[in-house]
Amino acid sequence: MTNPHLTPLLEAVASLEVAWDDADCGADLSREQLLAANAAISTLRRRLDGLHTEVAAGIDHESRPELGPDSLSKQQGFRNSATLIAATTGGSTGEAAKLTKLGKATAPRSNLLGERLPAKYPAVEAAIHRGTIAADAGSLIVGLLDRVRLHTTVERVAEAEALLVEQSSGLTLHEVRKLVTHAEAWLNPDGVEPREEEARANRSLTMYERDGSLFINFCTDVASGTPVKAAIDAWVTATFQARTNDGDTADDTEADHRTVAQLQADALTAICEHITGCDNNGLPLTGATVIVRVSLDDLTAGTGVATIDGTDQPISISTCRQMAASGGVIPAVLGSDGEILDWGREKRLFTRAQRLALVERDGGCVMCGLPPHMTKAHHIRWWQRDTGPTDLSNGVLLCTSCHHRIHDNGWNIHVDGTKRTSKVWIIPPATVDPAQTPRLGGRARYDIAA
């Protein structure tokens, strides 16, 4: 009889075998087979990592310090369980320690009477062993839950665990990290301001020259760094747009082949040249608008947190009030659902007010998550072909790449209302998902409190 621990692994292996069933020996896989094989391998890897967390926790238990010379890791010639596991996986001791910590947080426990207790985080345990989330994502969730346990109730931690596990499925590790950041502000809003003060106290900018290059190291709190980031991003975005406009006619020998990192360095140089020279020629920084968002209730009570468009880290209410008093910053105080900004067919282009409303709803590109200043407002039903109105229910923020994907590859978008609380759904073509299951897009994808 098959060990139940191995059943998920065997199921994933069987799926992988099916992916190659119709392929000739040594022949290239078709697109459908490639997708099926990739999905099966990914599931197999996640389930294998889930099983490995359990084994790592067991090795750690058998290597606990109180065992002395009888410690499993010491008997095998290693200092501790992390070095033993790292030596066998070929990874780092840090990765092994993270695997062990996740295993201990998701393993069954016993009380002082020896009675069996559920895992510390049962929802994470179930998701790890089903293979719906990766071990790295599970580690991020466990790390957050451990940090906030002293600042909130057990019920709130359990609620957050269930929400995080549900929403992390299908996300990249970067997206899970962003989701966890939002969840931490939701669970422990009082912890935001102390982190801000620490970051502000540790701000620094150092410069030195070496081998013909100038090195600049800059570190500051999120609120202070937002104008810098917004200005550089806007300059880079304008450069990319110029590339697109000139792409059909430009000689390849004159084409702009600079990388993003090079463009960001050139943006900083151009901005500083403009300031020192004050030549009034202007810079392409029309997208460099800083918008701080906060609910009216939080602003009035002085509790909770605020957010800045284009950044993942929340800010405290006191910092929000300071920024709202600064020039070049738009404070967006959100009360009820507010005014519905619809213009029908009277206007071809979305107005500034409508774009701000779309930014509030979408948070940036609804598909890939690029920040607002790297997107444009597009009609879901085309203005000319479909006689689509310039209304919020027919508008969506998309970056250039995702805009082309929508038009060229048969994807569709649906908005479930006209309010700022409406959700945007991305509908894949039947060639990608025969069931065409809608996928949540935009800001709501990371809104743990939604």
SS3 readout for 275-325: HHHCCCCCCCCCCCCEEEEEEHHHHHHCCCEEEECCCCCCEEHHHHHHHHC
Q: How far is residue 316's CA from residue 185's CA, in Å, rounded to a whole number?
A: 9
Question: What is the C-alpha separation between 151 and 158, in angstroms, rounded?
Answer: 13
Please tell me what DSSP assigns to residue 161. H
**Residue 396 and residue 377 in contact, taking contact as beta carbons nearer than 8 Å:** yes
Give the pair of three-digit tokens for residue 230: 């917004």
Query: Distance between CA 74 and CA 84 in Å, rounded?
Result: 9
What local confidence, expressed as pLDDT, does residue 101 receive?
Answer: 93
Q: Strand 329-334 vs strand 290-295: parallel, antiparallel, or unpaired?
A: parallel
Hey, how many other C-beta atoms are within 10 angstroms of the C-beta on 1?
A: 3
CA distance 24 to 223: 58
- pLDDT at residue 237, rounded to an integer: 83
pLDDT of residue 330: 63
The Cα 67–Cα 166 span in angstroms is 39
pLDDT, tens digit only, all 450 positions of the chain: 556 777 877 888 888 787 777 555 546 778 888 888 888 889 989 999 989 999 999 999 999 999 988 999 999 999 899 999 999 999 999 999 999 999 999 988 777 777 788 889 999 999 998 899 999 999 999 999 999 988 889 999 999 999 999 999 989 999 999 999 989 988 888 888 888 889 889 999 999 888 888 899 999 998 888 888 888 988 888 888 777 666 554 455 566 788 889 999 999 988 887 776 554 444 444 445 667 777 777 777 777 888 877 677 788 887 877 666 555 566 666 554 434 344 454 556 777 778 888 888 888 889 888 888 778 888 888 766 677 787 778 888 988 788 877 777 788 898 886 566 678 999 988 888 888 999 988 888 877 754
Of 445, 402, 433, residue with least CA distance to 183 = 445
Q: Residues 390, 344: contact at Cβ < 8 Å?
A: yes
**pLDDT, position 287:** 47
Report the C-alpha gap between 19 and 35 in whole angstroms: 9
Q: What single-letter amino acid sits at 98?
A: K
Tokens of 334: 């959100």
**Unique residue bearing structure tokens 């609120």:** 223
Q: Specify burial of residue 379 (Cβ count, 10 A radius: 0-12, 13-18, 19+).
A: buried
Q: What is the pLDDT of residue 231?
A: 87
Give the containing element (helix H, strand E) for 18. Answer: helix 7-19
Q: What are phi and psi of 185, to 5 degrees?
A: -65, -35
138, 419 contact by CB (below 8 A)? no
Q: Which two tokens stand for residue 125?
A: 């345990």
In angstroms, the CA 146 to CA 165 distance is 15
For residue 189, what pLDDT is reported? 86
Strand locations in 29-143 (E): 109-110, 116-117
Is-contact 233 310, C-beta < 8 A?
A: yes
Per-residue pLDDT, 17: 80
**Rounded distance, CA 388 to CA 293, Å?**
30
DSSP string, 50-78: HHHHHHHHHHHHTT-GGGGGG-HHHHTT-
| Predicted pLDDT of residue 384 | 61
Residues 6+ apart with CB under 8 A from 448: 160, 163, 164, 167, 179, 182, 183, 186
Q: Write out the H or E segment, with its range, that includes residue 378.
A: strand 376-379
Cα-flanking dihedrals φ and ψ of residue 371, to 5°?
-65, 160
